[in-house]
Amino acid sequence: MDGPSASTDVALPAVRAAQSLLEYNRLPPRQLDSRRVSLRNETGCNLETTMPLTPIRKDQLSKVGVGVQRPEDVVVSPDGRVWIADQASAAAEALPDGTLNRVGNAGGLPNGNNMDLEGRIIIANVGGLDGGGASGPVQRLDVDTGEVEVLADEIDGIPLVMSNYPHVDSQGRIWVTHSTSRTGDAALAAGGPDGLLFRIETDGSLTMLATEVEFPNGITLDPREENAYVCSTSGCHVLRFPIHADGTLGESEVYGPQLGKSIALADAMQPLSPEVRGELGLTDGCGFDQEGNLWVTLVMSNKVVAITPQLEVVTMIEDLDGEIMQNPTNVSWGGDDMRDLYVGSITTDYVLHARSPIPGEPLVHQR
């Protein structure tokens, strides 16, 4: 024979793609994320269906965990238990019958929360907002015993007063944002950037990663853990830090466009009507869905937007009048299909639930 025919040449990539897809489907859950990306690279085609970013209407939002206090964030366990940040305890579980199971006593102001591979809840505490020398450590809650332990209350001699958000990576390390060393009313006032980004290693030691960051708030890593994405609240944008092989960070860059006006610009536009509030771009929390869209909450605008891989911005939820969504702070996904979306808040006594048009990217404890 003279060699394969043209039809065989065309068919071979499809055969390899099918074989890769079969191999992909056999992988255990913890390997799916990296394999999903590598399959695109190996076959030159996307083996998954692209799902549209369909906005969520207000009438599709429902209240969960009514009665919780300052529910800034939600984390969903692998078995579907919904845990909400709760100032009246350490975390409150939203039970199916509508009641709350409050566990522990964190003190201060429990803020962003996440879960480690052992099912313990990691809490970033912004207790310094209360002023008066209050601390804002990183804590860990055992949901079975209610025990709360302090993982970090200072780094390099700097007291932690505004630990804002924790993210757990595949190695079990905890990435933490610390928004500012100012406390009380001064914490949210204009001032030089003094935010920190640090990491709690698996042996308990601390590694400073970045200093002089402008009010870092929510943080997440991409599925391949090649970049850290940090919401800069007063910057009204998201920063992306490349992660080097040795775990250090490169110089940050702004990811996507500016997401709205700053408070400084809005001061000249008083009083703030709903329409004017809708122009503010103060970012709070962020998280990826499985199509690579980065969802970002705009805490003053009563909006949740998504930055697409093409760096376009799509408004996913909007409630300018605050009828049900007020000061949204974080987005979290859970459920068997990862389509149960939860939105936290700093002013309501409930969090919001909706069905997400695209499944969320599983966090390490959900894989």
Q: Could you read off the pLDDT of 142-191 as tens digits, one per residue?
A: 999 999 999 999 999 999 999 999 999 999 999 999 999 998 877 776 66
Residue 70 and residue 35 share a domain: no
Q: Distance between CA atoms of 152 and 205, rounded to whole angstroms?
A: 9
In the chain, the number of structural domains is 2
113 lies in a domain?
yes
Residue 101 and residue 35 share a domain: no
Mean of pLDDT over the chain: 87
pLDDT value of residue 304:
98
Residue 217 and residue 136 share a domain: yes
Per-residue pLDDT tens digits for 309-355? 999 999 999 999 999 999 999 999 999 999 999 999 999 999 999 99
Per-residue pLDDT tens digits for 252-270? 999 999 999 987 877 777 7
* High-pLDDT (> 90) share of the chain, %: 78
CATH code at position 161: 2.120.10.30
pLDDT value of residue 42:
33
**Residue span of the structural domain in which 19 resides:** 6-43
pLDDT value of residue 18:
34
246 lies in a domain?
yes
* High-pLDDT (> 70) share of the chain, %: 86
Residue 64 and residue 33 share a domain: no
pLDDT value of residue 10:
31
Long-range CB contacts (within 8 A, 24+) of 265-273: none
Q: Distance between CA atoms of 215 and 230, rounded to whole angstroms?
A: 10
Residue 201 and residue 82 share a domain: yes
Residue 85's CB is within 10 A of a number of other CB atoms, namely: 31
Residue 225 and residue 182 share a domain: yes
Residue 190 and residue 131 share a domain: yes
262 vs 139, more confident: 139
Confidence bin at 131 (pLDDT 50/70/90):
confident
Residue 263 and residue 154 share a domain: yes
Q: Distance between CA atoms of 55 and 227, rounded to whole angstroms?
A: 27
Helix (H), strand (E) at residue 37? helix 32-43
Residue 66 and residue 15 share a domain: no
Residue 142 and residue 11 share a domain: no
Backbone angles phi, psi at 257, to 5 degrees: -80, 170
Residue 85 and residue 172 share a domain: yes
pLDDT value of residue 3:
40
